[in-house]
Amino acid sequence: MKNYKLFTATKVGSLEIKNHIVMAPMTRCRAIGNIPNDMMATYYQQRASAGLIIAEGTSPSPNGLGYARIPGIFSEAQIAGWKKTTAAVHQRGGKIMVQLMHTGRISHILNMQQGSEIIAPSALKASGQMWTDAKHMQDYPTPKAMTAEDIVSTRAAYVTAANNAIEAGFDGVELHGANGYLLEEFLSPNSNIRTDKYCGSIENRCRFVIEVAIAVAAAIGKDKTGIRLSPYGVAGDMPIYDEIDATYDYLSKELNKLDIAYIHLVDHSAMGAPMVPIEIKKRIRSNFKNTLISCGGYDKESAEADLNNGLFDLIGFGRPFINNPDLVGRLEFDHELSQSLNTDLFYSADEKGYTDYPK
Ligand SMILES: Cc1cc2nc3c(=O)[nH]c(=O)nc-3n(C[C@H](O)[C@H](O)[C@H](O)COP(=O)(O)O)c2cc1C
């Protein structure tokens, strides 16, 4: 029988993990009142055979809670709520980090707490619509361009959130620098037209992301800090731009200097997005010496092939974990995968399509 690297133990940062499989972060909108609950602890515990779980996009501040029913990690109640999840996963021998997601301009005020504001690098609205519980689909709004004070306070919010994550029992944090949310909005000249030191050159557009990474790594440890990036991703109305290769070339070199635990690359071509050129993946691989995770459209054989060709160190699985809570065992022992993925229940509010997929 073939020996699969996928199912062997390894390390990411200082964390020992039992296999090379990462459960990708997936927003599931079950955090009623933006507070993690028992249902979420059950969901993650069911999936604890992953080497590393990256818990869903979680806001570092009220302004980053742009979607309905997503969790935060800035209040005492949220920290207490997350403790149930981390304890449940650790009890089964799993490891779990949390994705810090500030939704930036991909937000709607109807989803947010009173007194919040929608902020982004520049007052440029994304085209398209998003769900709100109160009025269903709504256009994306025009965000407020962040002031110098907003930049300082938002960076500080990431640091507090990262400290809160450690207090809540997480094994580390992943900065969400992908998919068109706040951090990626700074990277792209299509969403960032500032006139200060955060725009005007590649170095300047990368500045906020790097500052946040430096500050979070200093607070909780570089070995507990990772980042997700989506070069050539188009989610959140992020068109491709001329300097895209040079931007991610520079950024990955700078992140390498910070010696953070990992970069997590997203390739959503399996979800209908444009292909991500292999050249940019190779470029990031050669620039970044620590763990490189790849996610998007994998099955057992393609995951194993990408681990063995030297390009990636860990493989992320997203959707297969939704309807296969015991995905790792099913892959390892060649049991059939569930065919019952109900996409209508991705973002609904209760157990259906969430904790009721059978082992
Ligand atoms: C329901 C759902 C929610 C998602 N939420 C997030 C999220 O919160 N943060 C993120 O970075 N990616 C998110 N993604 C993207 C996944 O992490 C992953 O990159 C994507 O599903 C591709 O992997 P797959 O082909 O194995 O599903 C989400 C995907 C799905 C299907």
CB 151 within 8 A of CB 182: no
Prediction pTM value: 0.98
- Quick check: 114 pLDDT over 90? yes
User: Distance from the CA of 26 to the center of ligand 1, in angstroms?
Assistant: 5
Ligand 1: does its nearest atom lie under 6 Å from the Cβ of 325?
no
| DSSP labels, 10-61 | EEETTEEESSSEEEPP------GGG---HHHHHHHHHTTTSSEEEEEEEBSS
> For residue 325, how far is its CA from the centre of ligand 1 (angstroms)?
15
The pLDDT tens digits of the residues spanning 225-263 come to: 999 999 999 999 999 999 999 999 999 999 999 999 999
pLDDT in tens, 192-226: 999 999 999 999 999 999 999 999 999 999 999 99
Catalytic residue among 43, 44, 158, 181: 181
Amino acid of residue 282? K
Q: Which residue's alpha carbon is at the smallest distance from atom 23 of ligand 1?
A: 296
Of the pLDDT bands very low, low, confident and very high (cuts 50, 70, 90), residue 2 is confident
Is the model's pLDDT at 1 over the cut of 90?
no
Q: Is the CB of 228 under 6 A from ligand 1?
A: yes
Judge whether 264 and 174 are in contact, CB under 8 Å. Answer: yes
* Domains of the chain, first to last: 5-345 (3.20.20.70)
The amino acid that residue 68 corresponds to is A
> How high is the mean pLDDT of the chain?
97
Ligand 1: residue whose CA is nearest its atom 4? 26
Task: Evaluate: CB of 285 within 6 angstroms of ligand 1.
Answer: no
* Residues 3-49: tens digit of each pLDDT: 999 999 999 999 999 999 999 999 999 999 999 999 999 999 999 99
Between CA 359 and CA 350 the distance in angstroms is 19
Looking from the CA of residue 347, the nearest atom of ligand 1 is 1
Distance 195 CA to ligand 1 centre (A): 33
Ligand 1 atom at minimum distance from 346 CA:
1
Its sign, for the CA torsion 274, 279, 282, 284, is: negative
Other residues' Cβ atoms within 10 Å of the Cβ of residue 234: 15
Q: Which amino acid is at 217?
A: A
Distance CA 211, CA 313 (A): 26
Residue 232 annotated to the active site? no
pLDDT at 300: 97
Minimal-distance CA residue to ligand 1 atom 16: 318
